[in-house]
Structure 1
Amino acid sequence: MIDINKDIQYVKGIGPKKAYKLNKLGIFTLKDLIFYFPRQYEDRNNLKKIIQLENEDKATIKAVIVGVETTSPRKGMNITKVDVRDETGYAKLVFFNQEYVKNTFRSGDTILVFGKVKKNYKNIEMTSCEVEHLTNAPKNTCKVMPIYPLTYGVTNKEIISIIKSVLSNEELKIKEYMPQRIVEKYKLCSIEYAVKNIHNPSSKDALKIALYRIVFEEFLILQLGLFMFKNGITESDGIKFKENEKLKDVLGSLPFKLTNAQNRALNEIIDDMQNNKVMNRLVQGDVGSGKTVVALLALADCVLNGYQGALMAPTEILAEQHYISLTDTLKDFGMRVELLVGSLTKKKKEAVLERVKNHEVDILIGTHALIEDKVEFDKLGLVITDEQHRFGVRQRSKLSEKGNNPDILVMTATPIPRTLALILYGDLDISIIDELPPGRQPIETIAVDKSKRDRAYNSLVRKEVEQGRQVYIVCPLVEESEAIEAKAAVDLVEELKLEYFSDLRVGLLHGKMKASEKDAVMKSFKNKELDILVSTTVIEVGVNVPNATLMIIENAERFGLAQLHQLRGRVGRGSHKSYCILIYASKSEVCRQRMSIMEETNDGFKISEKDLEIRGPGEFFGTRQHGLPELKIANIFKHMKILKIAQQEARYIMGEDHNLNGFENKLLKKEILDKFEYAVREISLN
């Protein structure tokens, strides 16, 4: 029997070079390969006559080769055209830089072709063709073909071939880990049947049966894992904070009244803190809804009870903003707030660490620097992470490990539909701040195509600057590379200075700058020493400049709706009317849809729901949450019915066998621990 955890490079036909490429796809073991599922399927069963082909169709035809010719329109390019016919008409198969094709097929051969149709009057061409000789068992046509996520140097054909070779080995056995009771109750196929038919469906029905099994399993494992994680935390004894009258004084010192939603969230947090179980709560609220004030009051309550608090933010700019806000509000109450970020000198960092250790600091605010091993608290009582989607489960755990079961509060300004929040953050109780403080004006959003770019700059920007206001211009999202985005931002600044704003003060902010440089630029912008700030998405989170009233986002179609909403939230923070101009280049229907949503609503929850519908959960969150298993096939919107059934079953299982130690659940528990990496491993479940 083959070891399913075998290193991929030792699998027959792979070796170190191919293994290196597969590693880039997250395939390190034989098990990773077997469970590397297709992202979609192409139905190549649809055999058509040439006369039936429509423009933009993807279709399969059976035809006879009439002739083959190759031309070279320019150096480095050759085009091979294969003329084919059937009893209804003629078509041309077009191949770019694939000269070998003319030696593969000859006039008179009968072939099967799958490709994309380009129809112009009577001329029919097929591109991106898969071609093979007519046989009784075609490999690449006349069947449902899996399409895999790929990386440079790995083709779809290669993946299909490698997986087919592995699955055809009779020594390979995929052991069933789902309890027999569940298999029977929900009429699930075996895991072996599911894997084989997901990669190489024997029929459409077989694929449907296989997909149902995997979708159900992914949801069940995700839910069980989150329940185990949550129970592991909430069932341990935590700190029981006492009610403290002085918290009312802190509340009374604020220059504004809390909204009903803020009060509701604060009461839920205080109730949790006064309970002897560990608090594990998510506060989610729209941009500008006032989550920071709620966090400040929770930290104040912690300090009034004689404990220390920690607040971790994803960027130095945001950490510093929290530091200034908390210091100003809490200094009159004798609470000592310190900042710990990577840009501090070694000497200053060591001094802060010493004071934290000796409890000469009540609240420590910082970036990832807070989870470094050197950071030691005397009596940590409350841990807060801001912008939860930027931190993984592992980082959250690492910070809380610095205390003796401290309470945990996480905040996010990325509104998530409640159903989805319950799934993704099943390890957390949820508070929602769904009300904006009075005085915040809705931001008027206008989407324009790139032909109106000049007008946006020459008219709108100048108008705001002449009135003494300031402007953000957000650089287009190039790709997930700070270096490339930094270059794009530098290029944009040069262009704007040269063509539009030679007489205005233009600043630049991007991720590759040193923290001290970023801070200097932001201070200049806040102090009105700059008229325009050109920035990458580093300003997405938390930056507060009330005098900035206009934001222009270049190539807006490249951003997710939730991210556009986050960026837009940087304006509209003062008493002046604010605007957001989205400049887009795409003419697609999806782009038009997305721009309309941004123009129609300022409600982050509605926007996130639409974003999730259009792009799906994978892209919506950008990157996987550290420690949480990936949903490879299950889709929260498409498979909502199955999700609800799986959630119900997960609750039943946890009610019957709280730690999954029963004989029939042991293999399922092992699968959960394997898939959840850090999230559940660190909690004793035995």
Structure 2
Amino acid sequence: MLDLATPLHALRGLGPKRARDLEERGLRTIEDLLFHLPFRYEDRSRFFPIASLVPGLRATVRGRVVTSVLRRTRARGLTIFEALVQDDTGSIRVIFFNQPYLRTALPAGRDVILHGEATVARYGRRGLVLQGPQFEALSDEDQEAIHTGRVVPIYARLPGLSSRAIRRLIHSVLKILPPLIPDPLPPGLSEERAFPARREAIAFAHFPPQDADLSDLNAFRSPYHRRLIFEEFFFLQLGFALSRRQREVLRAEPGLRVDDAIRARLRAALPFPLTAAQRKALKEIADDLMSGRPMNRLLQGDVGCGKTVVALLAALLAVENGHQVAFMAPTEILAEQHHRSFRVMLQGTGYAVGLLTAGVTGSARRQVVLGLRSGAIPFIVGTHALLEEDVRFSSLRLAIIDEQQRFGVAQRARLRAKGARTDVLVMTATPIPRSLALTVYGDLDLSVIDEMPPGRRPARTVVRGEESRPAVYDFLRSQVKEGRQVYVVYPLVEETDRAGLKAAVEMQGMLAHKIFPDLRVGLVHGRLKTEDRDAVMGEFVSGRLPILVATTVIEVGIDVPNATVMV
């Protein structure tokens, strides 16, 4: 009998390969699938008479297939399926490309619901067409529509599964799921908050009734959504509470000592006085390190507030006590930058600062690995390379993770496990309200640096429309004339965002050849080879490259003081 714990590979029609793909995304059971909730909803419930359609109108129609034909083109080998769909008011042509199976799915005489945008035909007979609409073929046995003719859930794609396929799969699961499923919330909590039953909430979230308010659905404000949201946050907070309790009951290790000699060496490493906020954050971190209880702390502060200096002083405190420190950054560029600055700041201490990234190979890598095992390297800066199996420490006491949102919980845990009892300090420049930080990062104590060092000018943010583009280009040129440098950033939604990457490449070409033909315009993105990317960044850091077009490979924290404008 099907239940929430049933593995997905047991579902009919899914197939072992697709089940494996879903498992890699963390979806292993029926429960995982049902909690892959829609991210928005479309109202396709209102039926329009075909005769009322006009160009540009997105509408749902219901009719009958009068004729259908499948043609193949000689030029490109395309298949074109064309059907004429008719209701009591008129008819409209429907066209699909490269979907030959529709010949059997939409034969003449089949009732069908269509949802799409009416457009003027660009070839063949004149008139309106629906090109590639969402469709639902109806049979006499089952007139229930799930893709059209109702409020329709829209899902984020999964490996090998479109939103339509996910909708069909979840609908089939809900039809055979038992009417009563276990409620994981503590007894009485659902009644106390007047929550609907769990199964009812899941069914509503996936297939809301016709009278559901669309704005409430898309804002996830319905009682059914609130119940599911509460459940997710409840168990998130429960996990954090258990994690904290587990740390609290761990046997306390001897805390780090701080005597006058260590304080003097810490002060000597500082080229400038700390702000009050930096001193407060450093005290909170030092108190944790001296307590003997495992530290798990988030250090938050805007770019330029001095988080890295505070982290460096915490690292020096651990090293002065005879332990090792690992500082993990998300990219090689950031790791190398931190490595250079740490070596400068610690050059008077006699402590070695190592570097371990994917670019450190061969004998250089072996030397670093041996230095960590022997303890000869007390302070290591690196990337994900620090997590590799053969990287072992003599006495890792403090793990510092920069831009922590770029690393998962499992990666933090792997770095922590490199030591017998490792304290963890994670840093972020992402501005997070305190209440939200305590919710999302409930397993972490929070320190905030909320002031800038004296003399630091605040960043100024302005918004300009497309009509201001020439003025923006003039401003960039004036900045370069004054000796400044400029970032032009195209953020990618994902690493595989080809459209964003294409836009960045095209923008670099336009700026270099049409807008600023007399200036050098560089380009960096995640698909460049490391050595090519580093060469471009090296030119930008040195000032030889005035304008840099970049994707998200440009990280928060890249230190180019002369770059004063970001578009």
Q: TM-score, normalised by structure 2?
A: 0.80
Distance change >3 Å, CA 531–CA 132, structure 1 → 2? closer
Partner in structure 1 of residue 228 of structure 2: 214
1:511 paired to 2:517:
no
Which has the higher relative contact order, 1 or 2, with Cα contacts under 8 A spaced 6 or more apart? 1
1:413 paired to 2:412:
no
Partner in structure 2 of residue 35 of structure 1: 35
1:12 shift after superposition: 2.6
Distance 1:269 1:334 in 2: 24
Distance change >3 Å, CA 456–CA 43, structure 1 → 2? closer
1:164 paired to 2:171:
yes
Alignment of 1:5-16 (within 5 A): 5-16=5-16
Partner in structure 2 of residue 258 of structure 1: 274
Distance 1:461 1:171 in 2: 63
SS in 2 for 1:322: helix
Distance change >3 Å, CA 324–CA 162, structure 1 → 2? closer
Determine which of 495, 520, 523 is the counterpart of 2:535: 520
1:311 paired to 2:308:
no
Distance 1:484 1:345 in 2: 34
Partner in structure 2 of residue 223 of structure 1: 237
1:270 shift after superposition: 1.4
Distance 1:517 1:244 in 2: 47
Distance 1:425 1:204 in 2: 38
Alignment of 1:387-406 (within 5 A): 387-406=403-422
1:319 shift after superposition: 1.2
Report Cα offsets for 1:611-667 as digits up to 9, x if no partner.
xxxxxxxxxxxxxxxxxxxxxxxxxxxxxxxxxxxxxxxxxxxxxxxxxxxxxxxxx
Alignment of 1:25-174 (within 5 A): 27-44=27-44, 82=85, 84=87, 95-97=94-96, 103-104=107-108, 128=133, 130=135, 138-140=144-146, 143-151=150-158, 154-169=161-176, 174=181
Alignment of 1:279-678 (within 5 A): 279-450=295-466, 452-457=468-473, 459-475=474-490, 477=492, 479-481=494-496, 489=504, 491-552=506-567
Given that 2:65 and 2:108 are in contact with CA atoms closer than 8 Å, whether structure 1 keeps it comes out as no
SS in 1 for 2:478: helix
Given that 1:238 and 1:407 are in contact with CA atoms closer than 8 Å, whether structure 2 keeps it comes out as no
SS in 2 for 1:211: helix
1:94 shift after superposition: 5.9
RMSD: 4.0
Partner in structure 2 of residue 184 of structure 1: 191
SS in 1 for 2:292: coil
1:393 shift after superposition: 1.1
Distance change >3 Å, CA 479–CA 31, structure 1 → 2? closer
1:545 shift after superposition: 1.4
SS in 2 for 1:261: helix
Partner in structure 2 of residue 571 of structure 1: none
Distance change >3 Å, CA 482–CA 297, structure 1 → 2? farther
1:209 shift after superposition: 5.0
Distance 1:250 1:412 in 2: 23
Distance change >3 Å, CA 524–CA 18, structure 1 → 2? closer
1:248 shift after superposition: 4.5
1:409 shift after superposition: 0.6
Report Cα offsets for 1:436-478 as digits up to 9, x if no partner.
2222223344433445545544x33332333222232334637
Distance 1:43 1:286 in 2: 42
SS in 1 for 2:298: strand
1:422 shift after superposition: 1.0
Distance change >3 Å, CA 529–CA 33, structure 1 → 2? closer
Aligned length in residues: 539
SS in 1 for 2:526: coil
1:105 shift after superposition: 5.1
Distance change >3 Å, CA 49–CA 386, structure 1 → 2? same
Which is richer in helix?
A: 1
Report Cα offsets for 1:231-269 as digits up to 9, x if no partner.
222442244122232334533553322222212211211
Given that 2:95 and 2:130 are in contact with CA atoms closer than 8 Å, whether structure 1 keeps it comes out as no
Distance change >3 Å, CA 534–CA 304, structure 1 → 2? same
Question: 1:396 is matched by which residue type in structure 2?
Answer: R
Given that 2:95 and 2:129 are in contact with CA atoms closer than 8 Å, whether structure 1 keeps it comes out as no
Report Cα offsets for 1:342-386 as digits up to 9, x if no partner.
211321111122222222222111111112222222222211100
Given that 2:34 and 2:170 are in contact with CA atoms closer than 8 Å, whether structure 1 keeps it comes out as yes
Given that 1:7 and 1:28 are in contact with CA atoms closer than 8 Å, whether structure 2 keeps it comes out as yes
Of 409-418 and 257-266, deviating more is 257-266
Distance 2:114 2:542 in 1: 65
Report Cα offsets for 1:531-569 as digits up to 9, x if no partner.
3333322222221111223333xxxxxxxxxxxxxxxxx
Partner in structure 1 of residue 123 of structure 2: none
5+ unaligned residues in a row in structure 1: which ranges?
Answer: 553-686
Given that 1:22 and 1:28 are in contact with CA atoms closer than 8 Å, whether structure 2 keeps it comes out as yes
Given that 1:388 and 1:411 are in contact with CA atoms closer than 8 Å, whether structure 2 keeps it comes out as yes
1:6 shift after superposition: 4.2
Report Cα offsets for 1:92-111 as digits up to 9, x if no partner.
656332886985458xx8x8
Given that 1:308 and 1:377 are in contact with CA atoms closer than 8 Å, whether structure 2 keeps it comes out as yes
Distance change >3 Å, CA 52–CA 267, structure 1 → 2? farther
SS in 2 for 1:447: coil
Partner in structure 2 of residue 585 of structure 1: none
5+ unaligned residues in a row in structure 2: which ranges?
Answer: 121-126
Q: TM-score, normalised by structure 1?
A: 0.68
Distance 2:447 2:134 in 1: 53
Distance change >3 Å, CA 358–CA 64, structure 1 → 2? closer
Given that 2:50 and 2:86 are in contact with CA atoms closer than 8 Å, whether structure 1 keeps it comes out as no
1:479 shift after superposition: 4.8
Report Cα offsets for 1:264-284 as digits up to 9, x if no partner.
211211122221211111001
Distance 2:55 2:10 in 1: 46
Question: 2:173 is matched by which residue type in structure 1?
Answer: V
1:16 shift after superposition: 3.7
Question: 1:429 is matched by which residue type in structure 2?
Answer: D
Given that 1:385 and 1:410 are in contact with CA atoms closer than 8 Å, whether structure 2 keeps it comes out as yes
Determine which of 251, 257, 279 is the counterpart of 1:242: 257
Question: 1:381 is matched by which residue type in structure 2?
Answer: R
1:44 shift after superposition: 4.9
Distance 2:83 2:19 in 1: 33
Report Cα offsets for 1:379-408 as digits up to 9, x if no partner.
222111000001111111111112222221
Distance change >3 Å, CA 112–CA 170, structure 1 → 2? closer
Distance change >3 Å, CA 476–CA 30, structure 1 → 2? closer
Distance 1:450 1:82 in 2: 42
Distance 1:97 1:550 in 2: 47
Distance 1:280 1:68 in 2: 68
1:43 shift after superposition: 4.4
Distance 2:373 2:17 in 1: 49
Distance 2:177 2:513 in 1: 68
1:303 shift after superposition: 1.7
Distance 1:155 1:490 in 2: 29
Percent identity between the two aligned chains = 40
Distance change >3 Å, CA 238–CA 317, structure 1 → 2? farther
Distance change >3 Å, CA 42–CA 282, structure 1 → 2? same
Distance change >3 Å, CA 252–CA 183, structure 1 → 2? same
